[in-house]
Amino acid sequence: MTIVASAAAYYWMSGLQSDIQGNMQGNLQNEFEEDLREFTLVSTSCDAATNTITLLILNPGSVNINAGDLIITLSSLSGSTLDTVIYSDFNGLGVSETQSIDVISTYDIQSSTVYAVRATIPGGKSSSDSCTGE
């Protein structure tokens, strides 16, 4: 009886260890890839006539950027948030790829005014740039 109980406990512990090890490896892999994920705003423009913000995004990292909501925040240089636009058509970005994105702001962009623009990719990483209303 003791041998059967010991064998059952051994197999249970072996299975538990295997599950924990597999989960840890998966979590570490996901966090490692998230650390490698990066992007750069190559250029940003703000069109005062149409209230359009145009971003040119580059993925200089070594892993793809996932598809999902891209959040664009328009702010004054003093830091006040003027508008937040969620671009839900973002299909992700492969390594070394660039993508141009146009969004319409509900804020009335003014000519000759400098704005701060921040883009946040799925996963929470952000990059910032500035633009002048043209």
CATH at residue 113: 2.60.40.10
Q: What is the pLDDT of residue 61?
A: 87
For residues 47 and 27, state if they share a domain. no
Residues 3-62: pLDDT tens digits? 655 555 566 556 656 566 555 554 444 444 444 568 899 999 999 999 999 999 999 988
Q: Which of 66, 39, 59 is nearest to 123 (CA)?
A: 66
Q: How many domains does the chain have?
A: 2
Residue 127: domain span? 40-132
* Cα R_g (the chain), whole angstroms: 23
Residues 69 and 108 in one domain: yes
Phi, psi of 133 (to 5 degrees): -55, 125
If asked whether residues 54 and 97 sit together in one domain, one would say yes
Q: Are residues 57 and 76 in the same domain?
A: yes
Torsion angle defined by CA atoms of residues 44, 78, 124 and 47, in that order, rounded to the nearest 10 degrees: -20
Same domain, 31 and 55: no
More reliable by pLDDT, 65 or 9: 65
Q: Say whether both 14 and 58 belong to one domain.
A: no
Shared domain for 53 and 73, answered yes or no, is yes
With cut-offs at 50, 70 and 90, classify the pLDDT of residue 95: very high
Per residue in 50-89, is it b (16+ CB within 10 Å) or e — as a string?
A: ebebebebbbebeeebeeeebbbbbbeeeeeeebebebee
Distance (Å, whole) CA 57 – CA 115: 18
